[in-house]
Structures are given as C-alpha cells and as structure tokens.
Amino acid sequence: MKILLIGMGVVGRSFVRLIAERGGDLYRRHGLAARLVGAVDRGGMAVSERGLNLAELLATKERDGTIAAMGQAGGEAERLIEETDADIVIEATPTDVKRPQAAMSRLKCAMRHGRHVISVNKGPLATAMPALLELAKYNRVEFRFSGTVGGGTPMLAGAQEAARGDEIVGIRAILNGTTNFILSRMHDAGESFDAALAEAIRLGYAETDPSADIDGVDTATKVVILANWVLGRSATLSDVSISGIRGMADERIRSAAAGGKRVKLIGRIDDTGIAVQPEEIPAGGPMDVSGSLNAMCVTLKTAGDITLVGRGAGGPETAVAVARDLLDIWHVVHEK
C-alpha cells in the first residue's frame, strides 16, 4: 500500500522507523507491502512513486530539521494529496483543538479523493467526528484513529471487544498522562500542584504551556472519540462538561488519602452525559495507576467491569497504533 505521511514530528518519525525496521515482517506475516511515497513537514515535502529512502528521509530531517532537501521547500499538502496516487493518508501533525481547520481540511480532501485515512491528530475528531465518520462512509473509505486514545494501548479496540455479546452502560477513564503524573506526585511525594507541574515539564511529560492537559481539554477530546466510536453517540467537544485539575489543593489530596482514596482526572461516559472532572477512586483499585499510565474501565450490563491499563503516549507507542490501523485497513481492503 502506498502511504502519504503528513507530519514528521515525534510520531511521524517513529512511524518511519517502524516501517523501516518491521516492513519485512509486515509483509511476511500479513502480506502488507508498505511503501512511503510522500512525506510532508513544515519546511517542505518529498515525493517518490517508487518509495522514499527511509534512512535518507530520517537523516535529512535530523540534519536539516526539515525534509525539504529531498524534494522541495514549501508546497501544499492538500495538492499533494490530490495529485499522488497514495492509498492511505496518515495525518500525524500535532493536535490543536482551538485551530483544527487545516488538519480537518486535509482529512476531508483525502476522503473526497478516495484515500483511506489514519489520524493521530485529535483536533478534527474532537470538533467534528460525526461529520468525518459520515464523510468516510459516503466516500467508501476506511477511517482509523486508534492512536488518538491511549497511545499504544488499544483502548478503542479493547472497549469494542469488551462489548461483543454485551452492552456497555458506562466508561470511566484516565486518559492524560500529564495530569496523572502530577496527581501521583502530589499523593506519593507530597508535592504541591505547582511543584509537581514543574517536574512534569522538566521531564517532558508536559508542554511548556500545559493548559490542554491540566484544564481537562485533552482528556475531553479522547472521551469524545470514545463516545462516538465505541458507543455510537454523535458527540463533539461542546457536549462535554469539563473541569480540570489546575490549582488542585493539597488539602483535597490529603483528605482523599485519609479516606483510602486517590484523586484522578476521570473522563466519564454514562446515561447522565459526558464529563471530565477530578474524582476520588479507591486506593489500590484497578483504576489506581501511577505515573503517566492510562487506564479505562468499561462497565458492561452483564459482565461488570473490565479495566485496561497501559502507556498513553510516546512516539514509538503511538507509531504502533498507526501500524495497527494500517493493518486493519489492509485487511479490509484485501478482503473486498
């Protein structure tokens, strides 16, 4: 399958490395011959119908900060989507919920031109997921985005599998590693919110501007994706009640601990609606994960609670999710 990669950041480069290292294995095990015919970053683009030299692509990005030297400086990604004969477009640019228009336009362009789409950018999904799902269906293309929720941990697939033969009545999830790290430090090391946040930034768990994390927006985008894909609810970010952990008081942490509880930022979907807010959970319970781990508890009508725990972020982990999506699309297309 011919692939066009939009975005050569941490996830994009990790995906290129994965294909370079495991391309032969993907072919032997699944019959998938993955060929990267185009790549785009902020500085430029590189295109080759025969397939780009992956080692050269990575080396050029490392050396120059852009891949322009392998092709051209500048250029319009949408024009490249239209003109290349790629089978799949991977949207791997950073999420910007406030300004999702550019990524949204690329996804729509790809679908309208008959390209299958994989997205790790949550912005378009958070603001217009029902419309994107409908557009993919109308254009008869596959649309996958497992890397948007849980990183390398298959949260979306796990929830769907849990629901086979049963009915999901609710989902509770810890979906942001930054806030979980901060709250874990406050509980375990007795640090203040500001000190824990500073440590998260120093270690790279949080951006210099951590607003999307600590104000609950990042968790809310992931809950929206879960609601649409797993529960079939036509929801967008505006449907979520959001309360983050900014300025979390030490006293609330101590009070929860005294009662055998821990405070976590929980994304919740149930019959009352969709919400993100700090909640107290039992210490030592299945959802009591530490550090930057994620956890999701799916409550089934008959089988009860099923909890999935794993890493929620990271370039290599998310690249694995992209590879899973690639294989899913390959099998669907191959079986037709």
Rounded Cα distance, 261 and 245, in Å: 16
Taking the CA atoms of residue 22, residue 26, residue 27 and residue 30 in that order, the dihedral angle to the nearest 10 degrees is: 170
Q: Which residue in 61, 108, 122, 222 is the catalytic one?
A: 222
Helix (H, G, I), strand (E, B) or coil at 205: coil
Most distant CA pair in the chain, distance = 63
Contact 243, 278 (CB under 8 A): yes
DSSP state of 95: P
Annotate 211-222 with b (16+ C-beta within 10 A) or e (fewer). Answer: ebbbbbbbbbbb
Chain-centre distance of CA 156, in angstroms?
Answer: 10
Q: Which two structure tokens, joined as six digits, stand for 238?
A: 């505006």
Contact 271, 169 (CB under 8 A): yes
Q: Which two structure tokens, joined as six digits, stand for 249?
A: 């008081």
Which amino acid would we find at residue 171?
A: I
10 Å CB burial of residue 169 (0-12, 13-18, 19+) is middle
Closest CA to 241 of 265, 195, 274, 192: 274
Neighbours of 22 (CB within 10 A): 15
Does the active-site annotation cover 222? yes
Rounded Cα distance, 53 and 182, in Å: 41
Q: How far is CA 225 from CA 6, 28, 138, 176, in A?
A: 21, 33, 20, 14
Q: Which sequence positions are flagged as catalytic?
A: 222
